[in-house]
Amino acid sequence: MRKERFEQAQADALFLYDKAHIVLTETEKKNIEVADFALGDFERTGICIVTYVNTELCCAKEMVLLPGQTCPEHIHRATDTGFMGKEETFRCRYGKVYLYVDGEPTLNTAAKPPVGDEKYYTAARQIVLIPGDQYTLQPNTWHWFQAGPEGAVISEFSTQSRDELDIFADPRIIRLPAVE
C-alpha cells in the first residue's frame, strides 16, 4: 500500500471513530493499523485497527470498516505449540456489521463477497450487528464481515491475538503487508 493511501485510510478511520465517540490518544491515532491484505483494493477489502492491549491472556481492539468494506474470510486456529486459537467477541459501536460464520446458510443475505472473490467466502450464516449488539466467535470458526453503507466501528474483546497465525481462505492474502 502506498504511503498516501495509508495516511488517507487512517484519516477515514479517525472520522468513523469520532462518529462512534471512541476517544483515542495521540499515540493511538498515529499507530492505527491499516490492512489491505496485500490485495491492493483497500476500499473493497481491508480494515483499520487500534489495539489497546494484547497479552498472553487477553486482547482489546477497535476496528473500522469503511462503507461496504469487507474483512476477508479467515480462521483463528489452534497450533501445535499450544495456542488454542482465538475466542473473540465483536460488539458493534457504530453503523451496521454483517458477520458471516460457519453454520446453516442464511437465505437472501444483506452483504455480498467482493465481486470476483466469491470462491473465497464460504461461511454463510449471517449475523447482523447494530450498535449495542455483540456476538462471540469460538476458536476455529471460519468467519468474515462487512460494513453497511455508513461504515462500521467494532470493538473486539478476545483471548490473545496472534494475527500472523490467521489462516485466510484466499491464498493471495498477506495479513501484515508493508507500506511503500
Region 146-154 average pLDDT: 98
Q: Give the lowest-confidence range in 7-16, 41-50, 119-128, 158-167.
A: 158-167
pLDDT of residue 177: 63
pLDDT of residue 162: 87
- What pTM was estimated for this model as a whole? 0.94
> Cβ–Cβ contacts within 10 Å for residue 165, how many?
16
Q: At residue 8, what are phi and psi to the nearest 5 degrees? A: -65, -40
> Looking at the predicted structure, is the pLDDT value of residue 179 above 80?
no
pLDDT of residue 53: 97
Where does the pLDDT of residue 78 fall: very low under 50, low under 70, confident under 90, or very high at 90 and above? Answer: confident
> Looking at the predicted structure, is the pLDDT value of residue 175 above 90?
no
pLDDT of residue 36: 95
